[in-house]
Amino acid sequence: MSYVLKENKIREACENRFASVNIPLIEEENTEIIAMSQSRQLFYKNFREEFSYNSNAIEGNRVTLPETYEILRKNVTVSGKSLKDQMEIVGHAKAFDYLIEVATSKKLPLSKELMLTTHKMILEENDPIAGRFRGFGEDVGVRDTLSGKVYHRGINPLALHDNLDGLIEFYNDLSEDKDINKIALLAGFHMCFEYIHPFLDGNGRTGRLLVNFELVKHGYLPIDVKFAERPLYYAAFEKPDNYERMTELFTRSMVSSLAMYRQLHEQFINGHADKPPVYQTDTVPDNPSNPSQNPALPKKRR
């Protein structure tokens, strides 16, 4: 195993040692909610919009949540936002739909091929970096443009494939253990994947999509790290050997997914399945030139 995997740390993260993480409750609620199968597609339809908005907004995309709704449900372009940002919304939603389908029907194992397919979908397919890993001389890092702080530098491209192969093998072995805390395991996997940083761009979005692929494949609802939680999300990467922060963040996100499912199920059984969503308030500011309205954005998208 490579030095990146830090096996003992990942195993510790999977041993249910976090007091604030009530995994048994989440397990029970997931089992109950999965039984409401007729609401599942309604949930995915609404979830994909918020997830596509939040995951892209974390990386600096300027499309707002109401605009995301317009783009994905009405298949239109919106004025005042770049075509690239809008295509990233479409690509992310397309990748989410694909991963939900293969997670539920084919139950594909996690693999480099799946990572490449996902990455190609979230970027424009004619983008020369879409669907390929970093190569020799392609170093990458994440820097906060306001503070100048470097959050992370990806590993040397020459070590990339050995580390990625090792992580996939290690994760797939542990994921079959029914006694493993799956949310903690995925928190550890996500941090290791982002530590490796296998792509020149799109690492964060690809990584969060893969987490949801694995959650759905193992019978859970997908999770959505909110744009408003961006500071907490980045802070979790500051101590790469400690997965507790990411596990707690993922768990809170699961609680939010469970609540969303219940709310949408009520709409479904009451005949309001097509009711437009109520937009959350943490919409990306429309004035990127005003620092007081613009959260610190990374120089290089993750």
Pull the structure tokens for residue 226.
């909110």
Pull the structure tokens for residue 60.
């600096």
| Cβ contact 133:165 at 8 Å | no
Q: Is 152 a catalytic residue?
A: no
Pull the structure tokens for residue 199.
């792509």
Using CB atoms within 10 Å of the CB of residue 231, give its burial: 0 to 12 exposed, 13 to 18 middle, 19+ buried: exposed
β-pair partners for 153: 141
For residue 171, how many C-alpha atoms fall within 13 Å in the half-sphere facing its CB? 27
Which one from 197, 218, 265, 272 is the annotated catalytic residue? Answer: 197
| Cβ contact 222:47 at 8 Å | yes
Quick one: which of 71, 44, 93, 37 has its CA closest to 260? 44
Taking CA atoms, 296 is separated from 51, 146, 199, 200, 291, in Å, by: 20, 6, 22, 20, 8
Q: Which residues are catalytic?
A: 197
